[in-house]
Chains A and B, each alone.
Chain A
């Protein structure tokens, strides 16, 4: 079974530029998550999708971050414009369904450096 795929793996941009990350979850997984992991910290949830609907985006900085999952499969996360403090690893995860008992499977992450 293929795991969660993410691209690109690394991205370097200058502040005020825009950037987009892509995630393909495990086949059949209805729930998709985006996390931000700042160096030395645990991941922090940005947004959770159930199929193509948003379940929770309370911690997404909506003035600069946006995410979509139009067909209920792949997802993109965009930052526009980027700030220095956005430097982090962006992790995508998926689970079969939403629920506290569900194991989340993580992708390898996209490491973003904003200069």
Chain B
């Protein structure tokens, strides 16, 4: 099975600091997209950022950016200037073929 792996079950960061969440994936597809989704406690999942595999430039969205290493099949999420509202489960996901496959998630805690 083609998998998405998030090796950090939990991470914590001090408010205003920077944190990086890791994700690795495998795929046999040449054309695919990668996503980071955020799922706050008891709230619905929302898209944080996405990356097209054919683009070498790393995607950025305000305080969120990715480090996409295609050869290594690595797709990490960097959150700068962390805020209390960033506390949530973060899921890395890969879209290939018809399917969106999620990793197991990383719980991010933000300390005031």
Contact = CB atoms under 8 A, between A and B. Distances in A.
Interface of A: 3-4, 33, 40-45, 48, 55-56, 91, 98, 100-109
Counting chain B residues whose Cβ lies within 8 A of the other chain, the interface size class is: 20 to 34
A106 B44 contact: yes
Contacts of B52: 101
Given A33-B100, A40-B105, 8 more contacts: A42-B93, A42-B102, A48-B98, A101-B95, A103-B47, A103-B50, A104-B100, A109-B44
Interface of B: 4, 31-33, 35, 37, 43-47, 50, 52, 91, 93, 95-105
Given A106-B45, A108-B43, A100 B103 contact: no
Contacts of A44: 102
Given A43-B102, A48-B98, A100 B44 contact: no
B95 A41 contact: no
A55 B97 CA distance: 11
Given A91-B45, A103-B47, A109-B44, A42 B98 contact: no
Looking at A3, A55, A103, the one whose CB has the most chain B CB atoms below 10 A away is A103
Contact of A100 (B43, B46, B95): B95
B40 to A, nearest CB: 11
A8 to B, nearest CB: 15
14 contacts: A41-B104, A41-B105, A42-B91, A42-B103, A42-B104, A55-B98, A56-B99, A100-B96, A100-B97, A101-B33, A102-B95, A103-B47, A104-B100, A106-B44
Top 10 nearest A-B pairs (CB, nearest first) are: A42-B102, A100-B95, A106-B45, A108-B44, A100-B33, A106-B44, A42-B91, A43-B102, A56-B98, A103-B47
Contacts of B45: 43, 91, 106
Nearest to B33: A100
B44 A107 contact: yes
Contacts of B97: 100
Nearest to A100: B95
Contacts of A102: 95
Contacts of B50: 103
